[in-house]
Amino acid sequence: MAHAHSVKRHTGLMDWLTTVDHKKIAILYLLAGGLFFGFGGVEALLIRLQLIKPMNDLVSAQTFNELITMHGTTMIFLGVMPVIFALMNAVIPLQIGARDVAFPFVNALGFWTFLFGGILLNLSWIMGGAPDAGWTAYTPLSTSTYSTTHGVDFYTVGLQIAGLGTLIGGINFLATIITMRAPGMSFMRMPMFTWTSFITSAMILFAFPAITVGLVLLSFDRILGANFFEVSNGGNPVLWQHIFWIFGHPEVYILILPAFGVISEVIPTFARKRLFGYSSMVFATILIAFLGFMVWAHHMFTTGLGPIANALFSIATMLIAVPTGIKIFNWLFTMWGGQIRFTSANLFAIGFVPTFVMGGVTGVMLASAPADYQFHDTYFVVAHFHYVIVGGLVFGLFAGLHYWWPKMFGRVLNETIGKWTFWFFAIGFHLTFFVQHFLGLMGMQRRIFTYLPNQDFDTLNLVSTVGAFLMAVGVLLFLFNCFMTAAKPKGVANDPWEDGRTLEWAIPSPPPEYNFKQIPLVRGLDAYWKEKMAGNKEMTPAEPLGSIHMPSPTILPFVMSVGIFIAGLGLMFSSEKFNNSFMSMIFNNWIVVIIGLVITFGSMLLRSLFDDHGWHIEPEELEEEGVKA
């Protein structure tokens, strides 16, 4: 038997910096993601304020470019991705009946690298100007010839670091879902959210390395004077577009699939019916992921790839409507004949369905290459992708947060405020973006910082800005709800919605750090519901009560990420001319980069040299806790 290793238990801040517990990492992801979501939201409001009337001069053209670039980049990479990871961390190990993820250390590392990448990117605001070449950073606009500040360097290095965190997070969830499922939980018994997260993780694995390379090439062009995108020296700017979208298109499915999963959990729970067409749902998810890799050039119809490429990518894009349509009908048929409860979570889930359909319809319109020549770079495109990303993904995230909040924090969010949140956000959303379809069709280009009066743009832009502020009120109501709920005492039931179907509702809210005292035996799809229907109050255990092995907390993931952060800053300013000779010495001789890399690789070495034996929770302690509870 194992030696009893005593392990240092940290409290307070150190507990959060050293945690490897997936439930705490979920909360860290949620806090950090929420913070960046706030930044992105303020940027969005400033954009809308600038466009509230023609010839407005609230911000300069340069600042406007920085705002749109940072709004897109922040929202996608630093806002919604971490909130998705928050839900995945909070829920997946519980849904598959596991005590933790496959790689707790890597899980923590993924969070800290994401956070430091995000901080680096946002430091650009106070360190000489934010990136200004659009979230797609198209070359040659983003090369050092046309973008002379360090803004795009912050973009390449910051995203590189944040992307590394996402990649290792994806690997962790793939391995977790493959190896850590409880006995009896076959792949075709996995809850839909686990399935979509599994597919999303696979997409992360195969999509993110492409942007890694793209960002490396752009950094090399900007920092080392390489010629990948320098036409005068033989480079090719269209190469960037290909690499970016080979990553970028799968990325939008990486974002939306987990939302599909959330909706597939929330709707059956509150319709008190099993999900209609579970297996078709699984295969639709896989098909969407597969097709998602085949359609990147539909972002490049106007680049001039020729009619054959455009036709093929056009057809492939339209094909995605088929599996997506399957999902929409499955959700509708799940609700059909169910006993629907309109909780806040379910309002967001039901609101998701028509909103996402509207985004899908404009998607098929855009997929038609000849029509896209008209739509391209207009507000029609802006309306389309906000319908799928905000109306789809963000609605899904709000549904998921309201739904799993009691499981994460042990307190139910206030339902009245939750419903106000929904109505403000939903009405504001449609006001903001519905009119943008027409602005686009009338010829208003995206990314322009102002427009002339009397083109019929004035009223619609005003409506759009008013809508944006209604959405902001919705978000503030949600924040108020979070704080108000946090002040209440803990103590909700295991299954606060009373109709929970999956394993996470079979254990306390919030779960103890080992999740399951005994790993449960899974006897079918919707494992917990099945036991309830059989008259059982809890899951049948698959193992006797025994000693539980836990990984030790460690500061190394945090230190490694600090090292990468320092190295990233050093790389960006390696050829900068400083007034201060000490600064020149340490930056221009790559000393800062070396220090950062020594910290990171040194931490890796420490991790390798000193084995983590973990620690054990003994059955007696489990019994005591049971008595206390």
Instruction: Name the one range near another protein by CB under 8 A: 74-82, 132-140, 357-365, 604-612.
Output: 604-612
Over the Cα atoms of the chain, what is R_g?
25
d(CA 37, CA 479): 12
- The verdict on 514 binding another protein (CB under 8 A) reads no
d(CA 98, CA 56): 56
Minimum Å gap between C-beta 289 and another protein is: 14
Minimum Å gap between C-beta 203 and another protein is: 11
Instruction: Name the one range near another protein by CB under 8 A: 11-19, 115-123, 174-182, 533-541.
Output: 174-182
Site string for another protein, 216-235 (x = CB under 8 A): xx--xx--xxxxx-x--xxx
Q: Is there a contact between 557 and 12 (Cβ–Cβ < 8 Å)?
A: no
Query: How many residues bind another protein, per CB under 8 A?
Result: 45
- The verdict on 476 binding another protein (CB under 8 A) reads no
Q: Which of 31, 42, 52, 239 binds another protein (CB under 8 A)?
A: 239
Q: Which of 25, 27, 174, 572 binds another protein (CB under 8 A)?
A: 174
Place of tokens 């519980």: 94
Q: Which two tokens stand for residue 448?
A: 């322009």
Q: Which of residues 391-430 bind another protein (CB under 8 A)?
A: none
Site string for another protein, 53-92 (x = CB under 8 A): ----------------------------------------
Q: Which is nearer to another protein, 217 or 566 (CB)?
A: 217
Minimum Å gap between C-beta 296 and another protein is: 12
What 8-state DSSP symbol labels residue 297? G
d(CA 336, CA 355): 19
Q: Which is nearer to another protein, 215 or 388 (CB)?
A: 215
Place of tokens 């605001």: 125
Q: How would DSSP label each residue in 441-502?
A: HTTPBTT-S---SSSS-HHHHHHHHHHHHHHHHHHHHHHHHHHHHHTSPP-B-SSTTS---S
All residues at 6 or more sequence positions from 538 whose CB lies less than 8 Å from its CB, including other chains: 506, 531
Q: Which of 448, 383, 382 is nearest to 50 (CA)?
A: 448
Instruction: Name the one range near another protein by CB under 8 A: 214-222, 280-288, 334-342, 419-427.
Output: 214-222
Minimum Å gap between C-beta 202 and another protein is: 9
SS3 category, 615: strand
All residues at 6 or more sequence positions from 13 whose CB lies less than 8 Å from its CB, including other chains: none
Q: Is there a contact between 117 and 165 (Cβ–Cβ < 8 Å)?
A: yes
Q: How many CB atoms lie within 10 A of CB 625?
A: 14
Q: Which of 51, 86, 90, 246 binds another protein (CB under 8 A)?
A: 246
C-alpha distances out from residue 91 to 97, 192, 266, 310, 537, Å? 10, 12, 13, 41, 21
Q: Which of 335, 475, 413 is nearest to 44 (CA)?
A: 475
Q: Which is nearer to another protein, 326 or 604 (CB)?
A: 604
d(CA 322, CA 365): 14
Minimum Å gap between C-beta 63 and another protein is: 33
Q: Which of 611, 627, 628, 629 binds another protein (CB under 8 A)?
A: 611
Q: Which of 149, 212, 552, 588 binds another protein (CB under 8 A)?
A: 212
- The verdict on 172 binding another protein (CB under 8 A) reads yes
Q: Which is nearer to another protein, 401 or 560 (CB)?
A: 560
Q: How would DSSP label each residue in 110-127?
A: HHHHHHHHHHHHHHTTTT
Q: Which of residues 140-169 bind another protein (CB under 8 A)?
A: 167
Q: Which is nearer to another protein, 78 or 211 (CB)?
A: 211
Place of tokens 């005593």: 6
Residues at the interface with another protein (CB under 8 A): 1-3, 102-103, 106, 167, 171-172, 174-175, 178-179, 205-210, 212-214, 216-217, 220-221, 224-228, 230, 233-236, 239, 243, 246, 549, 605, 608-609, 611, 613
